[in-house]
Amino acid sequence: MPSLKDLKNRIESVKSTRKITKAMQMVAAAKLRRAQESAEASRPYAERFNAVMAGLAASVGGSDSAPKLLRGTGSDDVHLLVVMTAERGLCGGFNSNISKLARAKADELRGKGKTVKILTVGKKGRDALKREYGDLFVGHIDLSEVKRIGYANAQDIAKDILSRFDAGEFDVATIFYAKFQNVVTQIPTAQQIIPASFEDTEGDDSGAVFDYEPSEEAILAELLPKGVATAIFSALLENGASEQGARMSAMDNATRNAGEMIDKLTIQFNRSRQAVITNELIEIISGAEAL
């Protein structure tokens, strides 16, 4: 049975931990608001961009003149998985859920005889996958020094991926991230970015017919690389909001758990102290009776 001193030290230790988790919860709450606003503000542009690109892609179809980013290489033997996670932990299952989805996709592709390559964005995804899939890694992008994600960061990642595609290193590229829904729910998502796949979520424009100048192929060739960067930027913003939401929720749970532990330890401390006092009284009374 622990001594009173041990119990007291443990109570003080848990109280210190509770202060830290509470502070981290408040910091995450402050960052979440800005990150959520950025993620939500990017959605209308991304949706409208996809709608326009979907119309262009549909008009071009599978013609030989379509840009390579749209029609692909004609094969799907080599897959590049871009796993986007956080640089830090202490955010619940945020990082592990993304890594789990990427791991399942890698196993599925390898089971079909496909070649898998992995590019990680964020330290936690690399750490989670390197033991089992270290031989599949082709690169890592470190964003630990970036204070606030910007479009330039997405462009750098897109340039890396596009240069690998132009060099013939892969046929299909898929990004993995968590889409922010609310503080307690972040949805792990896999999105194919090469060959470009667009889903028109806004529907058609009332049967309107557009005449493009220059040709649809020329416009797509110009916009498709920007579409890759846009998809990556949107995923980074979604990840940022998801990370802060998951951290806020995790630190709130940790704070409450610490409070419950303090209550239990305090009860144990009081009972032990009461037992010590009772024993001392018994010894005093017994000594007095003996005299």
* Whole-number Å distance between alpha carbons of 10 and 6: 6
Query: What is residue 1's predicted lDDT score, i.e. its pLDDT?
Result: 65
**92 is written with which tokens?**
């619940």
How confident is the model over 236-243, as a mean pLDDT?
93
- b/e per residue, 165-189, with b = 16+ CB within 10 A? beeeebbbbbbbbbbbeebeebebb
Query: What is residue 49's predicted lDDT score, i.e. its pLDDT?
Result: 81
Phi, psi of 210 (to 5 degrees): -110, 145
Q: Give the position of tokens 């859920």.
A: 97
The total of other beta-carbon atoms located within 10 Å of residue 223's CB is: 18
Return the active site residues: 91
* 175 vs 274 pLDDT, higher one: 175
- Residue 88's SS3 state is coil
Preceding peptide of 195 cis, ω within 30°: yes
pLDDT tens per residue, range 184-197? 889 999 999 988 87
What residues contact residue 146 under an 8 Å CB cut-off, 6+ apart? 153
DSSP string, 217-244: HHHHHHHHHHHHHHHHHHHHHHHHHHHH
- b/e per residue, 116-141, with b = 16+ CB within 10 A? bbbbbbbbbbbebbeeebeebeeeeb
Phi, psi of 90 (to 5 degrees): 55, 40
Preceding peptide of 214 cis, ω within 30°: yes
- Residue 291's SS3 state is coil
Residue 86, pLDDT > 90, answer: yes
Query: What is residue 206's predicted lDDT score, i.e. its pLDDT?
Result: 45
DSSP string, 187-207: EEEEEEEETT----TT--STT
Per the prediction, the chain carries an average pLDDT of 86
pLDDT tens per residue, range 25-48? 999 999 998 899 888 888 888 888
What residues contact residue 282 under an 8 Å CB cut-off, 6+ apart? none
**Range in 3-7, 55-59, 129-133 the model is least confident about:** 55-59
How confident is the model over 162-170, as a mean pLDDT?
91
Residue 119, pLDDT > 80, answer: yes
Distances (CA, A) of 169 to 115, 117, 142, 160, 162: 11, 9, 21, 11, 10
The percent of residues above 90 in pLDDT, for the chain, comes to 49
Q: Give the position of tokens 């419950």.
A: 260
Query: What is residue 64's predicted lDDT score, i.e. its pLDDT?
Result: 67
